[in-house]
Structure 1
Amino acid sequence: MKKKLILDVDTGVDDAQAIMMALASPNVEILAITCSNGNTSLDNTCRNTLRVLKVCNRLDIPVYRGCSEPLLGCKHDAEDFHGKDGLGDVPDPDAPGLELLQGEKAVLAMIKMVKENPGQVSLVVTAPLTNLAVAVQLDPSFPKKLKALYIMGGNTESRGNTTVCGEFNFVADPEAAYVVLERYTCPTYIATWEFSCRNILPWSFCDTWLAQDTDKARFMEKIFRHTRKMLQTERYQKELEGGPGFNPCDCFAMAAAIDDTLVTESQEVAVTVELEGKFTRGMMVLDYIHELKKKHKAVLMKKVDSEKFKQLMMNALK
């Protein structure tokens, strides 16, 4: 029986990599892709998602428009990192138009699909958590009907990539991240920023990955050029551990949802999100001393089977 997934994305280059990984996995059924503001504007996110589906010949998968701004506070984006359009500023005159989006709103579609498949659907979120926060507000029983939740976001050691202490997806909507970590009591697996930095892939693998003779690989090579230049700067290489390489951060959460045996080491701990600190707003907080009195604990990924992960990456562009 195939794993039923809903992907919640803010499609920049790393989301595109993760979507393509899921599309290439024979044991996965993607019920829908829901879009959010984040790496780039909501319209760009929707367009980019459709572009990825087109290159993979999977425009049959429904795509839904979600939240265009965070619950509170200012918008953040990563257009300096992913390009102004979110996909490396490589225009495609034949890209699918927004008329291919579903008419129903993302959050309502998400609630409906999970209700129709109770206990069978896993959510994989590689975006700010706004859509999920709105979903639980509209249907408080929504998290209980999920099989599992996989998140790329947050941090474990106050290492930031957007603010001093904050990871992008959580900083882009701290209130949403707080709501999700408080109210989603389904099994929750988190691929944090530090985790992804410790499980980087060498540039030699990247070259092999992109050299595959396929339309998918050629597409990825084009949209990845801008981000690769950013990743190879001294600033970004300093953030990584284990030597020079690239960090396909969203792919870790996706890979864990696809293959239950991928994560080889993890830890369970109660978590929340700081909302008020000058330097720590959006930082994920780990409660090792049980001060929060929370029954629900998240599973924080620590190590992965690198060979299995590389194979999933390779398969994505075959």
Structure 2
Amino acid sequence: MDKKLLLVDVDCGVDDAQALMLALAAPHVEILGITCCHGNTTLENVCRNVLRVLKTCDRLQIPVFGGATRPLLGNSLHASHYHGVDGLGDAPDSTSPDLDHLHKEHAVLAMIRIVNKYPGQVSLVAIGPLTNLALAVNMDPTFPQKIKCLFIMGGNMESRGNVTVCGEFNFACDPEAAYIVLNGFDCPTHIATWEFTCSNNLSWVFYHEWISQKTDKAEFMRKVSAHSENFTKSCAEEHGEQWAKGFVSCDSYAMAAAIDDKFVTDIISCAVGVEPSGTLTRGMMVLDTLGMLPRKHKACVMTKCDTNKLKFLLMEALR
């Protein structure tokens, strides 16, 4: 495979960690930097969690940058019910790297600098709220033109939410940022929505085989994933088996698409928008399948993928 240069923007919870480890294990991938954003937990926890992942994978030389601490407007959301208060399952780690490992440069400035250094060569993988990206395009309107591709985990395509009635978590965390990005980025854009990840879930049999590998990486993943696994099982008991039909590592789908050109097998190509207001629909992504929005740029909204490729990449991540 051709060498792939990635810039990864995260709000590092459990599935962010899984996605990062997937990319770190791919021999044809070079991560130029990891930028951190509020979301699943506080920015400080996000930064610390990224460093924990890098330490586990012996890759602490990759630069990590702290970014936005809150959304552009409105109140901050968090996902401690699923990811734990610290974002990684509240699994204690006395050997966690301290924040002195962080680079002092702000994440948004680092983003702009990196894509300026490698114009047209960097794929940006955004698997948290899009606040850092919105700030980057506001600071430098030419920023999207210098990106090779943008891969997003976020939004929805069937009005199904997971944190509000119609809102997926990453977009609901900062609807204004999502609105700015989907309106202002005209580079090739690939979106892994909430419904897409759920409809392409992996079996729980695979999940237990995956985390049962006899490696330090698998031991790390067992510890940090236990809280979210228990939460999913409790939801299944309370709300029915539809809550636990399979294992879904949401952010890993966007990452797999970024590093393997053949992972996605079907898409919807259309203009997309985000509802920044609305009593019930704030943060909802809208697909313009009728071509009614006055936009030339179309996004590739993923609908089907090769789950066997995802299984392979995940297994390699913990070897």
Same fold (TM over 0.5): yes
1:256 aligns with 2:257: yes
Shift of 1:236: 7.3
Between the aligned residues of both structures, percent identity stands at: 58
Determine helix, strand or coil for the equivalent of 1:16.
helix
Task: Provide the secondary structure at the position in 2 that maps to 1:45.
Answer: helix
1:89-148 CA-to-partner distances (Å, cap 9, x unmatched) read: 011111000111001000001100101101000000110000000000000000000000
- Matched residues, number: 316
SS in 1 for 2:97: coil
Hey, what does 1:313 align to over in structure 2? 314
**Hey, what's the Cα distance between the residues in 1 that align with 2:232 and 2:316?**
23
CA displacement, residues 168-215 of structure 1 (integer Å, 9 cap, x when unaligned)? 000000000000000000000000000001010100000110111100
Please state if 1:279 is matched with 2:280. Answer: yes
Distance 1:193 1:306 in 2: 16
CA contact (8 A) 1:231 1:237 kept: no
SS at match of 1:37: coil
| Alignment match, 1:212 | 213
Provide structure 1 residue ranges, at least 5 long, that are not aligned to the other structure: none
How far does residue 239 in structure 1 lie from its aligned partner after superposition? 5.2
Distance of aligned partners of 1:236 and 1:126 in 2 relative to their CA distance in 1, 3 Å threshold: farther
**Distance in 2 (alpha carbons) for counterparts of 1:214 and 1:276:** 47
Cα–Cα, structure 1 residues 94 and 28, in superposed 2: closer, same or farther, change >3 Å?
Answer: same
Structure 1 residue 279 displacement after superposition: 0.5
* Structure 2 residue runs without a partner (length 5+): none
Matched, 1:51 2:22: no
Shift in Å, 1:289: 1.9
CA–CA separation in structure 1 for the residues paired with 2:282 and 2:80: 21
CA contact (8 A) 1:231 1:246 kept: no
Match of residue 9 from structure 2: 8
User: C-alpha distance in 2, partners of 1:5/1:276?
Assistant: 32
Equivalent residue for 1:245? 246
Structure 2 Cα separation of the partners of residues 51 and 239 of structure 1: 33
Deviation larger for 285-294 or 300-309? 285-294
Q: Deviations over 1:233-266 (max 9, x none)?
A: 21676556xx721110100000000100000111
Give the distance between the partners of 1:117 and 1:276, measured in 2 at CA. 36
TM superposition score normalised by structure 1: 0.98
Distance 2:289 2:30 in 1: 36
Q: Which residue number corresponds to residue 103 of structure 2?
A: 102
Alignment of 1:68-83 (within 5 A): 68-83=69-84
Contact 1:197 1:239 in 2 (8 A): no
Query: Does the CA-based 8 Å contact 1:7-1:125 persist in structure 2?
Result: yes
Deviation at 1:291, TM superposition (A): 1.8
CA distance in 1, matches of 2:65, 2:312: 29
TM-score of the aligned structures, taking structure 2 as reference length: 0.97
- 2:143 match: 142
